[in-house]
Amino acid sequence: MLNFMKKTFHLKDLNIVFATREFANFAIESVKDHKANEISLQDVESVSRSFLDELYILSDKNHMQITDIPENILPLFEVIKKSHQDQVLYAPKIKVTVSSKTFA
C-alpha cells in the first residue's frame, strides 16, 4: 500500500498580488520547489479570475489539489471549475446597480 504524504503550500506566504496568469505560473513553480502537492488559499483575501483560472489549470496538470478556499473566493472557484468541466465559459452572477450619473 502506498502512503502519500500531503504537503501543503500556503499561497499567502508568497506575498504577491494574485492578479495575473504569470503570477499563477510563479505560484505553481514555488509549490513545485517546495515539493508540495496541496495549495492552500487560507487567508487569501482576493484573487483575479485569470489568476484563479490559471492556478486551477496548472494545479490539475501537475496533480495538485487546491484547498482551504475562503467563502468569498469559493463562488468564483466553482464557476471556473464548472467552466472547465463543461468546456463552456460561465460568468459569475453579480449584483450591480446602474448609475444615472455621468462621469467625464
Report the predicted TM-score, pTM, of the whole model to 2 decimal places: 0.81
What are φ and ψ of residue 85, in 5° steps? -70, -40
Distance between CA atoms of residues 1 and 41, nearest Å:
30
Q: How far apart are CA 43 and CA 2, in angstroms?
A: 32
1-44 residue pLDDT tens = 454 678 999 999 999 999 999 999 999 999 999 999 999 999 99
pLDDT of 39-91, one tens digit each? 999 999 999 999 999 999 999 999 999 999 999 999 999 999 999 898 888 77
Q: Which H or E run includes 39?
A: strand 38-40
> Any idea which residue has 464548472 for its cell?
82
